[in-house]
Amino acid sequence: MATYIVTGVAGFIGSHLAEALIKRGDKVIGIDQFNHYYNPKFKRQNISYLKQQPAFALLEANIQDLNWTSLLEGIDVVFHQAAQAGVRASWGEGFTGYTTKNLNATQIILEAAKQTPSLKRLVYASSSSVYGDAETMPTSETVCPKPVSPYGITKLAAEQMCQVYYRNFDVPVTSLRYFTVYGPRQRPDMAFHKFFKAVLKDEAISIYGDGQQTRDFTFVSDAISANLAAADVPEAAGEVFNIGGGNRVVLADVLETMEQVVGKPIKKEYVAKAKGDARHTSADVTKAQKILGYNPQVPLEEGLKAEWEWIKNLY
């Protein structure tokens, strides 16, 4: 039985990841601060199953207040999911929270990891935000990152920090650049969650810009399979991987699919394009397929149905 640490364990992806580990018979130490970026009650709900499992232990703490040297003793893999999320909130005074939680916190874990020879892998949750408005579609990992938001800058900086510790101290890091992950437990500030909630309340949804922006949507179970592979495959150490859903979709088309899922027209309200939002994202997942055996399984309509069922139960 292996022992894993999952930071941000009560979050959207972290809770699914910890569940997958527990269900296959592993031990998990989950760490979460339960901050108020969105209502912590959602996070408490996310880990209701986990808290009933004897192989799960919860540490409710700030990453920077923990003794990571002793915490990492006997740990096989760290999945570092915790971060200050959100592109739009990363401008202005809020930026300090992003540097602290995305960069400083990652450095503290890496510093302890370099003194932990038993550690087999540190999987860092990066983001497609590091690319910004990429000139090449689909975008491969060899494309030079050019973030267009302060959030994207902090995610890229932490990713580079991981590489520095890999090159200098052989800390076995792998970074996964997530492309718009969705599904049950999605954060309430994320688009599909907001859209479905608006449908339930019979309110108009806000579309930033003209609705012709494109995204590569990744269902959460596919993101989880990528994490599990990144932890196990020896060749993944020191590498960066795109994790996408395998196809790029125009937002207006997604809304049509959502209308089919919910069975009625969706009211739309067009608002100004948000600063820091990339116009298009599209993942070239060839490298992840080759090295991790990554192969996204869940088509968009199926994934949207799963999220809609969850949203109906939630509200």
Tell me what pLDDT residue 229 has.
Answer: 98
Active site amino acids: 151
- Residue 48 placed within a domain: yes
Q: Say how many domains are in the chain.
A: 1
- Residue 7 placed within a domain: yes
- Residue 158 placed within a domain: yes
pLDDT higher than 90, residue 276: no
Overall average pLDDT of the 30-35 stretch: 97
Indicate which CATH number applies to the domain containing 106: 3.40.50.720
- Residue 263 placed within a domain: no
Overall average pLDDT of the 176-203 stretch: 96
pLDDT higher than 90, residue 247: no
- Residue 258 placed within a domain: no
Domain that holds residue 10: 3-183+219-246+281-297
- Residue 129 placed within a domain: yes
Overall average pLDDT of the 32-48 stretch: 96
What are the Cα distances from residue 157, in Å, to 48, 65, 76, 127, 148?
Answer: 33, 21, 25, 11, 13
DSSP-H helix ranges across 30-143? 40-46, 68-71, 95-98, 105-113
pLDDT higher than 90, residue 100: yes
- Bridge-based pairing of strands 240-243 and 173-178 is parallel
Interval 155-170: pLDDT, tens: 999 999 999 999 999 9
